[in-house]
Amino acid sequence: MINLTINGVPVSVEKGTTVLEAARYLGFPIPTLCHKEGLTPYGACRLCVVEIGREPNSRLVSSCTYPVEEGLVVRTASERVVKARRMVIELLLASCPQSKTIQDIASRHNVRQQRFRQEHEDCILCGLCVRMCEEQMMAGAIGFRGRGRGRSLGTPFDVQSEVCRLCGGCMEVCPACQARCTFNEPEKAICGACANLSPPCVEKEQFHDMMCYLTPCVACEIKK
């Protein structure tokens, strides 16, 4: 067992636990965006930062990826954390104002405006879909490409992937692109599942044991 204190409360947890898990266990709220139980922590959105160590040598780390250490001192809502978090939210709002998830987070943290040039992106590269596809659907149909400004998400060579199971799992987890998977604009979709006219449930043979996340689903609509 590893002993640490979070916001002054001592806690002891199993080795390998993340700071986020430990803090939530104690009931301290930490906002997250790119984190989802059941998927490996990735650390992309930086919303879950907490302050560790003692001033003046303290620093911020993403709690979702940081493993607990013996004697660690954690603060989940110090002034520095709150300031940074609000700026992250501002940046998110500036890029993805249409996302319901981001709007909710912003309102919960009372961030009412952003000061950057407004953009309308439909992906914040949080990697949830990639991990969902790979780790839960065992498909690995989508991934990241490029770096920096040029980083983007998609299928290899931008054609619908052979291994895609058309399950809609990626859409299900996406915090930003709910609006993006529409049959109207298939070229904008990541995997193309939403534009699929023969959904997996129809061809049961091939995908008999898989979950389906497609909503709305063409097949379901027809069945009704």
Residues 50-79 that bind ligand FES (CB under 6 A): 62, 64
Nearer to another protein, 89 or 139 (CB): 89
**Site track 128-157 with another protein (rule: CB under 8 A), x = hit:** ----------------x-xxxxxx------
Residue 69: contacted member of ligand SF4, another protein, ligand FES, none (CB under 5 to 8 Å, by partner type):
another protein
- Quick one: how many helices (H) and strands (E) in the chain? 6, 7
Q: Three-state SS across 137-169?
A: CCCCCCEEECCHHHCEEECHHHCCCCCCCCCCH
CA 219 to chain centre: 28
Read off the DSSP letter of residue 159.
S
25 binding another protein? (CB under 8 A)? no
What lies within 8 Å, CB to CB, of 187 at 6+ separation is none
Does residue 66 belong to the site contacting another protein (CB under 8 A)? yes
42 sits near another protein (criterion: CB under 8 A):
yes
Q: Of the candidates 39, 49, 128, 166, which one interacts with ligand SF4 according to CB under 6 A? A: 128
- Nearest CA to 124 out of 167, 165, 155, 89 is that of 89
**Rounded Cα–Cα distance for residues 36 and 143 (Å):** 17
When the beta carbons of 83 and 204 are compared against another protein, the nearer one is: 83
Residue 35 binds: one of another protein, ligand FES, ligand SF4, none (C-beta under 5 to 8 A by kind): ligand FES
Three-class DSSP category at 48: coil
Q: Return residues touching ligand SF4 (CB under 6 A).
A: 123-129, 153, 173-177, 190
